[in-house]
Structure 1
């Protein structure tokens, strides 16, 4: 029987400028849907899991379009509550070379931000589930969303479900002080913690040593130090981070580091020419969950799968990582040639 995995969060309507146009140039926008936990749900559906996305969307054609978009890629939408006033929006301007990409949010008072605990039957949602994934974006949406997230986590633990979090700090949604207050409390329910250097500092108060991603430099000893502290404070089973070396908006180095309490493991690094980096971290989380749920892989192999999956995502337009297990395994096994497959 296929494993049941659950994610919960906001799916938004994404409006992107065509090509590399600036907002002030654009006469039209390309439309897709996406959002942290929805992106993870799509990855897991692609990998053959029974993938459920939990959210709330308006009972109007735009809300239905978002539901249809998820169904198109195999995500089960039975637990999406309908109601509320609006679907959140975000606008994306894709950068190039030394010009960074820009995101503008228009998501205040979205349906999931205003959702109530009574909109969901969490005991039904987590029945027979093996994994639950959420991110720091969801509790940042509103006070009600923070309460909703904790109720979901309590139910997941009642049902013996493994929980992962992507810390995902978003400065446009809340302050570091508020993030630390809310997220530190939620860590008691978490088994696998994923976050980059900014997340660890802004959300949980841990700062790695000499790393400065704006210089394209990594100092792994700094990460090892904070990983030990995080493991000691929160008793995570695994602490994980992606390592992005930002040479420019167009070219990044991409790898990851995992700690199981005994051993640090640094993955292979990929040099990636970026087509669309939005959803890169989510595709990593989806790959990691797949790997850790796959009994034939150890945690190092799970990490290699996650890094390869997310490296491939950087080459795909849109929020979703539309790759298969076979495609990821081919890259893991060393074929990064990009040769035409006939």
Structure 2
């Protein structure tokens, strides 16, 4: 089994306790997380040889982030040390009709100010099987966009499978810049993962007969989105998560996968949300695990959806579930009965 490499930013997450609002909270809980770090933790949980690549300061907060990754079995030997700060985000959990809210404090983080010479991609991809990143990483800075482009080129040259979760963040860049930058990067990708609106925000590809706000999602509309992405970028797979947001507390959850020949649709779950941060990352990690482990396309999709369904029940960014727990849900046991 080869190395599974992810590249991006790990941040310090500060959150009011329970469902307190920012303005009423007198203390904050602390965890670490970030798109690609979340994927690395999941892959390590599934027994993969997972590596996380980033740049972190040498001080104690940077070391705390490294220690948290090591705690869950992620190899941190490829992390570059330097810079002044770890990015921070504040997360207020929503409930019922009140949405969750995220405030970023990540400007001038170590990874955002990283330089090309901080990463030797030829060495990083030695013995690698898979490389994953998200659209958040190139959005952090122009330097990060250049580094990401260099990374995907090196990955392709090394024969490594490349996946990207588009993960559009309007607080980081405009749709115009996202489309321009990601349009170059995705040319080197094999697998694109998107939520129900990423393709529209990044590439202007909108699903017909779909209204995200009301929760009406058209399967046929998303099939056309997947086909257009394949036609434009020569991809091997497109996966789209389909979230029906009835409230901040209750969502419908499913996904579809296109392998350029057939469309696959997962079963649908009604989920009661404990913490939805990292839901998409847990789907991406589940899909990577499924596709790289020789599962059928349908089973890989079902595994990814079941894994991400379970993530919504876990506090923090990381999806701390076992293969056995995911497979139990895949097989239809959603009872939540006590395991004795």
Q: SS of the residue aligned with 1:65?
A: helix
Partner of 1:213 in structure 2? 212
How many Å separate the matches in 2 of 1:270 and 1:79?
37
In structure 2, the partner of 1:325 is: 323
Match in the other structure for 1:339: 337
**Residue in 2 aligned with 1:28?**
27
Structure 2 Cα separation of the partners of residues 19 and 100 of structure 1: 14
User: Secondary structure of the residue that 2:164 maps to in structure 1?
Assistant: strand
Deviations 1:122-158 (A, max 9, x none): 1111011100000000000000000010111111111
TM-score by length of 2: 0.99
Q: Which runs of 5+ in 2 are unaligned?
A: none
Q: Deviations over 1:156-206 (max 9, x none)?
A: 111100000000000000000000000001111100000123210111120
For 1:312, which of 303, 310, 313 is the aligned residue?
A: 310
The answer to whether the Cα contact below 8 Å between 1:197 and 1:207 also exists between their aligned partners in 2 is no
Corresponding residue SS for 1:30: strand
Distance 1:310 1:153 in 2: 26
Q: Give distance in 2, aligned partners of 1:197 and 1:218.
A: 8
List 4+ stretches of structure 1 deviating above 3 A. none
For the residues of structure 1 that align with 2:3 and 2:288, how far apart are their CA atoms?
A: 12
- In 2: Cα distance, 1:187 partner to 1:226 partner: 15
Deviating more after overlay: 130-139 vs 206-215? 206-215
- Helix, strand or coil at the partner of 2:286: helix
Taking the TM superposition and a 5 Å limit, the aligned residue runs for 1:164-183 are 164-183=163-182
Equivalenced residue count is 340
The answer to whether the aligner puts 1:131 opposite 2:139 as a matched pair is no
RMSD of equivalent CA atoms: 0.7
Unaligned runs of at least 5 residues, structure 1:
none
Question: In the alignment, what sits opposite 2:46?
Answer: 47
Question: How far does the alpha carbon of each residue in 1:201-250 deviate from its partner, in whole angstroms, 9 at most, with x for none?
Answer: 11112000121222121111111111111111111101110000001000
* Contact persistence 2:11–2:89 (CA under 8 A): yes
CA distance in 1, matches of 2:213, 2:248: 11
- Name 2:284's counterpart in structure 1: 285
Partner-residue secondary structure (3-state), 1:37 = helix
| Residue 90 (structure 1) aligns with | 89
CA distance in 2, matches of 1:72, 1:211: 42
Which residue of structure 1 aligns with residue 231 of structure 2? 232
User: Per the alignment, in what secondary structure is the counterpart of residue 253 of structure 2?
Assistant: strand
Task: After superposition, give the CA deviation of every residue in 1:278-299 in whole Å (9 maximum; x if it has no partner).
Answer: 000000000000000012x111
| Offset of residue 97 of structure 1 | 0.2
SS at match of 2:117: helix
Q: Distance in 2 between matches of 1:305 and 1:9?
A: 24
Match of 1:222 in 2: 221
Deviations 1:305-325 (A, max 9, x none): 000000000000000000010
**TM-score calculated relative to the size of structure 1:** 0.98
User: Retained in 1: the 8 A contact 2:208–2:218?
Assistant: yes
Q: In the alignment, which residue of structure 2 is the partner of 1:12?
A: 11
Map of 2:71 onto structure 1 = 72
Aligned to 2:296: 298
What CA distance in whole angstroms lies between the structure 1 residues aligned with 2:127 and 2:9? 23
